[in-house]
Structure 1
Amino acid sequence: MASSVTQDDVNNWSVRMRMSSKKPVIVIAGLGCESSAFSPARTEAAAFHPRRGDEIIDANDFLQEGTDLRAAATWYGALTGHALPGGIVTRSGFEALAAEIVERLQRIKHQTAIDGLWYDIHGAMTVEGLDDAETELLRRIRAVVGKSVVVSASMDLHGNVSRDLVHQTDLITVYRTAPHIDETETKHRACRNLVKVLIEHPGGTASTGAPVLPLKAWIPVPVLLAGEQTSTRVEPAKYIYDTVPQIEALPEVLDVGVWIGYAWADEPRNRAAVVVTGWDRQTVERSAERIANLLWDAHAEFDFVAPTGTLEEAVNAALDSKVNPYFISDSGDNPTAGGAGDVTWTLQQLLNRPEFKDASGPKLIYASIPTGGRVINTIQEAGIGATVSLSNVGAQTDNLHAPPLTLKGKISAIKTGDPDAVTEAVLQVGSLSIILTELRKPYHHEHDFTDLGLQPRRADVVVVKIGYLEPELYEMAADWMMALTPGGVDQNLEGLEYKRIMRPMWPFDRVWRSRPDLGARIVPPPTCSLDVEDGREN
């Protein structure tokens, strides 16, 4: 699914730029966060780690000096921020960041005319008191830059795509892999498509007049599934996403996007969606309908990417396994899906198992429990090698499923300066190596463990707060099971108390009177009004 700038692209851009008196001006802005409505956590502005100005350009390799995209346009960074998935974003945090984006765009606009905007978002951000936060932010952006500025959005396939968002954007693209190994490629494609429209097409901004915009065909698909049920490593998602480059190769098509959606929000936009952009109405409509029907036809076939069971079943399977390391996903509190990360339920069950009571027992690594500054200060004061008793460990944010723990063990490692965790420590309790952190952190890479003196490849069991295994963990695992544990991203969607999603919706509704309406909706550009179309689902 490689998406790169071709020599034809470069040649076309070079010709257009020689004919033009100026290069198009493109600004970059956006916010991204997966926000679980079922977590008690809240996400503040600082969690977005905002980048501003040239920091944004420097963070993207495909925009560096000497690249074709850098040469094709004049680029300005406004503000972008991407928070670790978590709870709902506070209204004050959103308003502060949104106001700064608007203010920075106003300053850029005073310096130069703006032709295009790369909208760098995730698509599953829920904000207190707002629906469809990414659309609301883009409305505010357009109030500054204008409706005729060409906006190209890049998104996570676990984002939720409303008709309003498609209306406010001109171009929109999305990851095509889960786990996401094409994040950079997708952002590159969003910028490449933007430059194509601004420079290559007759009437483009860099030549004369307004750019010629592609048509956008959008189809909502009434399916709501967890990412762990829709990995592109396995069928049926693999086949569906393998269809994307076939359609995108058609000369009348610019981009094809398939969104699974984000399951743990609770908004009317929650569901899967398909968007095809291109130059011929019949082609984009038929292409969107082809993929939407593939998705619906397979809706009952989606299943978890790994064997699943209770935590007890997963631990028993790991201890009975003839191979190691055996990985167990503590899936309900996955911090990269929106879990608070400090649910203690699983760790408490492990501490209760007799197999791990003695240091000579099976070697198990547990990653991880955020504990806050007080516990970490106690660990730092004691130092490596000390035996400590720690109280009030974990459950500082999410104590709905289990209380804080009291732990007694030997400190084997302390590490400071992590951008997520801030400070990390390893506490040896029986045969368990428990990673404690000041703030929550996902453990996705081998060095996350080896930097703490842990050897996951030599462990009998590795328990990680995660859903599907990220690539390095997947490669390390001799075997693997997903434990269906409690938390803010509980995999049992039908057991969660949704209040605002549209119905009917699979899997909440298992019997359908008729096939859902999977006809393509042509969504007008932002320069035109968005009316309810033929009374169909909006």
Structure 2
Amino acid sequence: MYRKPVIAIAGLACETSTFSPARTQASFFHPQRGDEIFDYRANPFLRAGQPLREAAEWKPALTGHALPGGIVTRKGYEELAEEIVTRLKDMGPLDGLWFDIHGAMVVEELEDAEYDLLRRIRQVVGSKTIISASMDLHGNVSQDLVHQLDLITCYRMAPHEDTIETRERAVKNLVDQLVEDRPLPYKAWLPIPILLPGEQTSTRMEPAKRIYAAVSDVEARENILDAAIWVGYAWADEVRNQAVVVVTGWNENDCVRGAEDLARPFWAAREEFEFVAPTGSLDECLDAALETRGPYMISDSGDNPTAGGAGDVTWGLTKILSRPEFKDESGPSLIYAFVPGPEAVETAVKAGVGATVTVTAGAVIDNLHAPPVTFTGKVHSIKHGDRHAEIEVVFQVGSVYAIITKLRKPYHKEHDFTELNLEPRKAGIVVVKIGYLEPELYAIAQSGTGWMLALTPGGVDQDLPRLGHKKIIRPMWPYDKVFDDDPDLTAKLIPMSNRPLS
């Protein structure tokens, strides 16, 4: 009688800036346990009745997905990692495991946190359990991590419009591996001495567009299962942080050749990488916006919460409120998202919509660049129940509509604004703590009069050399512009997980 493979699900995902003073606690991962994992918004392919759900006996353990942020506390990590291990111990023998991670998590007193978690999992499930990982292309892929994995893949688009597709691919590869009883694939790993921010490696533009377009070409070759390119995560300082190519398949030479065919054009294009939009200081961006009829989008990039910024840097809002153009209600309308301020939110909720109050917000966690911001404004709107922010308040200060939140949240969707009684398509200027624009914001910029990336300070500062990396391997582009010799771009075959590292 046919026996469905038994597959567990486990993992922790958090993109972590080591240059942010923020700390990520266990609760920030919003842990999901057991059948809750099937209902996670990025797992529609595992809902009841879906082919992949029916193809295996699933044993979900625990997964957690935190907003990008500061270093994960060791206490928080140990709490979640130990629960994952305990749950897996109670499951009995497993044929496979889907390792649901981001790839750029940093934990206090640990190097290579994803490998550490995988090592602990391997001690429980054993070397014969097939493990497949899905990752963000901004993750970091060490040799140790690849060694302990059997299958691995990552996003091929930035912005990550293929999140669900990538996760489904990792699961399908795992299910097919077990159901068809395939031989374990070979793994060719090739690190590249390049470490760039996402804002210079968006697949919307060259050279990343053509570099990632080649992934599917390599994957289509005979004997190749998967091809993947990671650009790495630039705002953490660890030895593993750099670009990497991994190709998996059933022929050693084909895997090696495929990895090298992807890595060499990446290295050759290193001087072509540019920012996804015109850049400038915040004042320069505001000056450009004021010359247009709007809407004009500005990325306050240094404190981007979806890249690891603390989110509570007040530098940008302070600068905007000091500009004379916005002092009067009749001035050009500007929406600013966002600054956390729990006490300011509480004051506004008590006062109600329409009240004028004086509040202080921000700079509780990251006060390295500016102190808390204090202003007097009219409460424009209040919203309760956001998954991340919990409570959001819009204050009108002159012609500025400043969003203040109880907790930090990303503002990526048009409804993030319209549900607050704001109309970004009709505003003169929209300033968002973000890097490259997510699709809906990008569409607003395209329908408006322009977009600029403001080079502002914060834990995800776009001026990478200014941050002061000390642990990354050197030489590394663009921190080093002169290399004594060309890097060795020869792929290395990584042993199977049940064999020791060579």
- The answer to whether TM tops 0.5 is yes
- How far 1:164 sits from its partner (Å)? 0.5
- How far 1:68 sits from its partner (Å)? 1.6
- Partner Cα separation in structure 1 for residue 398 and residue 230 of structure 2: 44
Matches within 5 A, 1:283-432: 283-321=254-292, 323-372=293-342, 374-391=343-360, 393-432=361-400
Alignment counterpart, residue 440 of structure 2, candidates 449, 457, 472: 472
- AA at the equivalent of 1:354: P
- Partner Cα separation in structure 1 for residue 224 and residue 496 of structure 2: 17
- Partner Cα separation in structure 2 for residue 465 and residue 361 of structure 1: 22
Alignment counterpart, residue 248 of structure 1, candidates 219, 239, 249: 219
Residue deviations 1:431-488 (CA, integer Å, cap 9, x gap) = 0000000000110000000000000000000000000000000001121000000000
- AA at the equivalent of 2:408: R
- AA at the equivalent of 2:171: C
Matches within 5 A, 1:209-224: 212-224=183-195
- How far 1:230 sits from its partner (Å)? 0.2
Partner SS for 2:287? helix
Partner SS for 2:384? strand
- Partner Cα separation in structure 2 for residue 260 and residue 331 of structure 1: 19
Alignment counterpart, residue 74 of structure 2, candidates 91, 111, 115: 91
1:149 is aligned to 129
Partner SS for 2:425? helix
1:439 is aligned to 407
2:198 is aligned to 227
Matched, 1:263 2:246: no
1:6 is aligned to none
Matched, 1:42 2:12: no
1:3 is aligned to none
- How far 1:150 sits from its partner (Å)? 0.3
Matches within 5 A, 1:450-469: 450-469=418-437
Of stretches 92-101 and 56-65 in structure 1, the one that deviates more from structure 2 is 56-65
- Partner Cα separation in structure 2 for residue 343 and residue 137 of structure 1: 32
Partner SS for 2:195? coil
Matches within 5 A, 1:520-531: 520-531=491-502
- Partner Cα separation in structure 2 for residue 65 and residue 87 of structure 1: 36
What RMSD, in angstroms, separates the aligned Cα atoms of the two structures?
0.8
- Partner Cα separation in structure 2 for residue 302 and residue 106 of structure 1: 46
Structure 1 vs Structure 2: percent identity of aligned residues?
Answer: 62
- AA at the equivalent of 1:79: L
Partner SS for 1:250? coil
- How far 1:21 sits from its partner (Å)? 3.0
Would you identify which runs of 4 or more consecutive aligned residues in structure 1 move more than 3 Å? none
- Partner Cα separation in structure 1 for residue 501 and residue 127 of structure 2: 13
- How far 1:66 sits from its partner (Å)? 2.2
- How far 1:525 sits from its partner (Å)? 1.2
Give the gaps of 5 or more residues in structure 1: 1-19, 205-210, 532-538
- How far 1:87 sits from its partner (Å)? 0.1
- How far 1:383 sits from its partner (Å)? 0.7
Matched, 1:72 2:41: no
Residue deviations 1:342-387 (CA, integer Å, cap 9, x gap) = 1011111111111000000000000000012x22211111111000
- Partner Cα separation in structure 1 for residue 401 and residue 433 of structure 2: 14
1:161 is aligned to 141
- AA at the equivalent of 1:341: G
- Partner Cα separation in structure 2 for residue 49 and residue 487 of structure 1: 25
- Partner Cα separation in structure 2 for residue 224 and residue 88 of structure 1: 19
Partner SS for 1:86? coil
- Partner Cα separation in structure 1 for residue 401 and residue 288 of structure 2: 20
- Partner Cα separation in structure 2 for residue 502 and residue 511 of structure 1: 14
- How far 1:235 sits from its partner (Å)? 0.2
Alignment counterpart, residue 484 of structure 2, candidates 513, 516, 521: 513
- Partner Cα separation in structure 2 for residue 176 and residue 157 of structure 1: 7
1:12 is aligned to none
- Partner Cα separation in structure 2 for residue 277 and residue 57 of structure 1: 27
- Partner Cα separation in structure 2 for residue 365 and residue 57 of structure 1: 37
2:246 is aligned to 275
Residue deviations 1:373-404 (CA, integer Å, cap 9, x gap) = x222111111110000113x110110000000
- AA at the equivalent of 2:321: L
- Partner Cα separation in structure 2 for residue 149 and residue 34 of structure 1: 27
- AA at the equivalent of 1:385: G
1:53 is aligned to 34
- Partner Cα separation in structure 2 for residue 307 and residue 47 of structure 1: 34
Partner SS for 2:404? strand
- How far 1:83 sits from its partner (Å)? 0.2
- How far 1:196 sits from its partner (Å)? 1.4
Partner SS for 1:172? strand
Matched, 1:136 2:116: yes
- AA at the equivalent of 2:282: L
Aligned residue pairs, count = 497
1:208 is aligned to none
Partner SS for 1:84? coil
Matches within 5 A, 1:11-30: 21-30=2-11
- How far 1:306 sits from its partner (Å)? 0.5
Matched, 1:170 2:144: no
Give the gaps of 5 or more residues in structure 2: none
Partner SS for 2:345? helix
- How far 1:71 sits from its partner (Å)? 1.8
Partner SS for 1:78? strand
Residue deviations 1:46-72 (CA, integer Å, cap 9, x gap) = 000001001112322111222221121
- Partner Cα separation in structure 2 for residue 67 and residue 394 of structure 1: 45
Partner SS for 2:475? coil
2:452 is aligned to 481
Partner SS for 1:424? strand
